[in-house]
Amino acid sequence: MLRSLKVFVLLSASTMLMVASSCKREDATCTAVIKVIRPTGVAVSGANVTMISNWALTSGEGEPAGYLSDTSKTNKKITDANGEARFQFKYPAILDIEVTHIAFGAAEDLIKLEPGETVTKTVILEQ
């Protein structure tokens, strides 16, 4: 009787561990890559890229995804030598993109972020 109880406890513990490890939540981090170029296709480094949450969705848990503020450093970046700025967000959203450059002017666009995906958007500075 004691031996069968030990076997039962061992099997139950093994099953619980397998179930717990298979219920891991996938990474739902949303990544946005904004590529800024000139009409000729040349990358623009040093452009200011701002992501604005005017149309944010919710997290699905009753928590608003309007987590960006105008003063937040996480929603403002400067493009690198490849003309790219990378952003990561916890929730999916539809975000406004504002790009400015001292020599090449400004442009605006929209981007829709999906859970667990990297979305690349190319913005062209026309001036």
**Tell me: the pLDDT tens digits for 13-42?**
566 555 554 455 577 788 999 999 999 999
Q: Are 123 and 99 in contact (CB under 8 A)?
A: yes
> For residue 62, what pLDDT is reported?
45
| Model confidence pLDDT, tens digit, residues 67-109 | 554 444 458 999 999 999 999 888 788 888 999 999 999 999 9
The confidence score (pLDDT) of residue 29 equals: 85
In a domain, 9, yes or no: no
We report the CATH number of the domain holding residue 51 as 2.60.40.10
Q: Which amino acid is at 48?
A: N
The number of distinct structural domains making up the chain is: 1
Q: What is the structure's pLDDT at 54?
A: 61
Any domain includes 56: yes
- In terms of Cβ atoms closer than 10 Å to its own Cβ (0-12, 13-18, 19+), residue 98 is middle
Residue 20, in any domain of the structure: no
Confirm whether 35 is domain-assigned: yes
* Residue ranges making up the domain that contains 95: 27-124
Q: What are phi and psi of 17, to 5 degrees?
A: -65, -40
Please indicate, yes or no, if residue 5 is contained in any of the structural domains: no
pLDDT band at 10 (very low <50, low <70, confident <90, very high): low
Distance CA 109, CA 97 (A): 5
Assigned domain for 21 exists: no
pLDDT for position 38: 97
Let me know how long the chain is: 127
